[in-house]
Chain A
Amino acid sequence: MKSARAQNTLLASLGFLMILLVWQSLLWVFDLPPFLVPPPIKVVTRALELGTNWWPHIWATVYSTILGFIIATLGGLSLAILIVHSRIASGIITPPLLLLQIVPKMALAPIVLVWVGLGLASRTIVVVLVTFFPIVISTITGLQSVEPEAIDLARSLHMNRYSILRKIRFPNAMPHIFSGLRVASTLAVIGAIISEFVAAQSGLGYIILSSGFVLDTALQFGALALVTLFGVVFYGLVVLAERIAMPWYIAEVQHIEVMT
């Protein structure tokens, strides 16, 4: 098993190395100017030049992403629980919810800017808008996907709606909730970057945009790499939380991995 893992790591490294080689050789073959496509080494040196000046930008992006994600999670879970438990609430909320889901949330960013202005608030709102719907929808699906027998059992044990939610519906919904959170975690980063394109004076998205104006593509690539790295780490954290929260579920997933 251990050697298989080492082999996988080796193969993956090889894949990334090949991308760098192709990138570099394309530059040589077509003699592309570095301001159009910077060579990999220049991306690294340009990024290092900025040094600690990166921090406020990284922090700005990370902060609005995580804050928006947390707000969307709490709000999404609450709304889903309300919808599943109240027929009236469901009737009122569900149709506009489905409609709003289709609205391209990125297109709302300029409107949010008009209403809230530059700053953390508007960027966080965009992240919330982007991540909210997958969380709500997946939670509703999860809460409703309980075996009817389990509810019969609970009713015959005189469990009330609250304890049915706490002991049966909610844990049963966890795999669905987490798949929603995984999707939301990648969308959150996208939302944060878009919001910085529209309304920011800091953040990695702001760097990508502003360095483009001066054709500093090396810096753009550097910022892009950092955004991607953050996206991977953030997604990884959600997966980690999932493993910790659902030890009963994870073995199932591992089983599938072994099978394939």
Chain B
Amino acid sequence: MNLSDDIYIQIDNLSVVFDTKGDRVTALENVNLTVKKNEFITFLGPSGCGKTTLLKVINGLTAPTMGAVIVGGEKVERPIANCGMMFQAPTLLKWRKSLKNVLLPAEAVGIDIKTARIRAGELLEVVGLRGFEDRYPRELSGGMQQRVSLARALLLDPPLLLMDEPFGALDALTRDDMGNELVRIWKLNPKTVVFVTHSIREAIALSDRIFVMTPRPGKVAKVFEVIEPRPRDPRKMGDKYNDLIDEIHKCLGGETRGADTETMD
């Protein structure tokens, strides 16, 4: 098997510098990485380490200052359409019911709405929202809104999912639930997933590889591989789990441990 066929995202010498009112801020410096097809990876790091910027560069919403990003064999030069996006906020359209929210990508791309409607209904069922098709977002809990958002990201069955702290605003229990749900859906229908988080536990629970990032300037400090089968249970992983947490902590430096004990523990 040719190795390069297996690579879905390739990032070469990527730097991003923001020029705001004469202040030059290096958001990302010399990032090099590759992501395999259908791999689930996490960018893990504290606020300001450039993980969201990295996601936006992969998506084509932010242009690189130097270097290049190649997704699916093509250089990214404008927003790429064949990816599903999720943000920390559900970003649902308040005036649309669940089903119509899920349908937004179909309308934008201009595919047959009838077929899309059937698929949207199926997806709402997959994310556990059967019977909530006709609810407005404000009639749903935060977790349910993120489920709608997930269904929307999956509508066009994109080969790539970009997720920017999608469960960061949810309570701890719902967050674990959503993580398990995501893994279940990803196993049913594998895609390349790039997941941004500042929770070490979440990164370990979800990803094949964890790219630990450090700020000022944002760069990838170290990559950890997690080979444990999913769903991952910290109790069954035993010492390996704690060792991994300790190592990642060390990599992030003491600063983050104090700054965000809630999620960085």
Within 8 Å of chain B (Cβ to Cβ): is A31? no
Q: Determine which of B80, B81, B94 lies in contact with A248 in the assembled complex, contact meaning CB atoms within 8 Å.
A: B94
Contact A150 B136 (CB under 8 A): no
Which residues A140-192 have CB closer than 8 A to chain B? 147, 149-150, 152-159, 163, 167-168, 171-172, 174
Q: Which chain A positions have C-beta within 8 A of B89?
A: 147, 149
In the bound complex, what is the Cα–Cα distance between A167 and B94 (angstroms)?
11
Q: Which chain A positions have C-beta within 8 A of B125?
A: none
Most buried by B among A154, A174, A248, A252: A248
Contact B91 A150 (CB under 8 A): yes
Q: How large is the interface on A (under 10, 10 to 19, 20 to 34, 35 or more residues)?
A: 20 to 34
Within 8 Å of chain B (Cβ to Cβ): is A32? no
Contact B93 A168 (CB under 8 A): yes
- Nearest residue (CB) in B for A156 is B79
- Main secondary structure, interface of B, reads loop
Known contacts A248-B136, A251-B138; is-contact A156 B95 (Cβ 8 Å)? no
Within 8 Å of chain A (Cβ to Cβ): is B87? yes
Contact B85 A249 (CB under 8 A): no
In the bound complex, what is the Cα–Cα distance between A153 and B156 (angstroms)?
14
Within 8 Å of chain B (Cβ to Cβ): is A121? no
In the bound complex, what is the Cα–Cα distance between A221 and B95 (angstroms)?
44
Known contacts A156-B60, A156-B83, A157-B81; is-contact A248 B95 (Cβ 8 Å)? yes
Contact A147 B108 (CB under 8 A): no
Contact B79 A155 (CB under 8 A): yes
Within 8 Å of chain B (Cβ to Cβ): is A246? yes
Q: Which chain B positions have C-beta within 8 A of A249?
A: 94-95
Contact A147 B91 (CB under 8 A): yes
Contact B61 A156 (CB under 8 A): yes
Known contacts A167-B104, A167-B107, A248-B136; is-contact A156 B93 (Cβ 8 Å)? no
In the bound complex, what is the Cα–Cα distance between A177 and B139 (angstroms)?
23
Within 8 Å of chain A (Cβ to Cβ): is B105? yes
Q: Which chain A positions have C-beta within 8 A of B94?
A: 172, 248-249
- Nearest residue (CB) in A for B84 is A156
Question: Per-residue 0/1 for B129-141: is the Cβ within 8 Å of any A Cβ (1 yes, 0 no)?
Answer: 0000000101100
Which residues B55-85 have CB closer than 8 A to chain A? 56, 59-61, 79-81, 83, 85
In the bound complex, what is the Cα–Cα distance between A31 and B94 (angstroms)?
60
Q: Which chain B positions have C-beta within 8 A of A248?
A: 94-96, 136, 138
Most buried by B among A154, A158, A168, A251: A158
Q: Which chain B positions have C-beta within 8 A of A163?
A: 108
Contact A251 B79 (CB under 8 A): no
Q: Which chain A positions have C-beta within 8 A of B60?
A: 156
- Nearest residue (CB) in A for B89 is A149
In the bound complex, what is the Cα–Cα distance between A163 and B104 (angstroms)?
11
- Nearest residue (CB) in A for B108 is A157
Contact B91 A159 (CB under 8 A): no
Contact B81 A156 (CB under 8 A): yes
CB distance from A130 to the nearest CB of B (A): 30
Q: Which chain A positions have C-beta within 8 A of B109?
A: 157-158
In the bound complex, what is the Cα–Cα distance between A174 and B94 (angstroms)?
11
In the bound complex, what is the Cα–Cα distance between A115 and B81 (angstroms)?
56
In the bound complex, what is the Cα–Cα distance between A152 and B83 (angstroms)?
12
Q: Which chain A positions have C-beta within 8 A of B83?
A: 156
Q: Which chain B positions have C-beta within 8 A of A147?
A: 89, 91
Most buried by B among A147, A156, A248: A156
In the bound complex, what is the Cα–Cα distance between A248 and B95 (angstroms)?
5
In the bound complex, what is the Cα–Cα distance between A159 and B110 (angstroms)?
10
Known contacts A156-B59, A158-B81, A251-B136; is-contact A149 B95 (Cβ 8 Å)? no
Contact B61 A155 (CB under 8 A): yes
Which residues B114-168 have CB closer than 8 A to chain A? 136, 138-139
CB distance from B134 to the nearest CB of A (A): 11
Shortest beta-carbon contacts, A-B, top 5? A157-B108, A149-B87, A149-B91, A248-B95, A156-B79
Q: Which residues of B contact A (CB under 8 A)?
A: 56, 59-61, 79-81, 83, 85, 87, 89, 91, 93-96, 104-105, 107-109, 136, 138-139
Task: Please name 11 further chain A to chain B contacts, defined as beta carbons within 8 Å, in addition to the given A167-B104, A251-B136, sorted by A numbering.
Answer: A152-B85, A154-B108, A156-B85, A158-B79, A158-B81, A158-B108, A163-B108, A167-B93, A167-B108, A168-B93, A248-B136
14 contacts between A and B (CB under 8 A): A147-B91, A149-B91, A152-B61, A155-B79, A156-B60, A156-B80, A156-B81, A158-B79, A158-B81, A167-B93, A167-B107, A167-B108, A171-B95, A172-B94
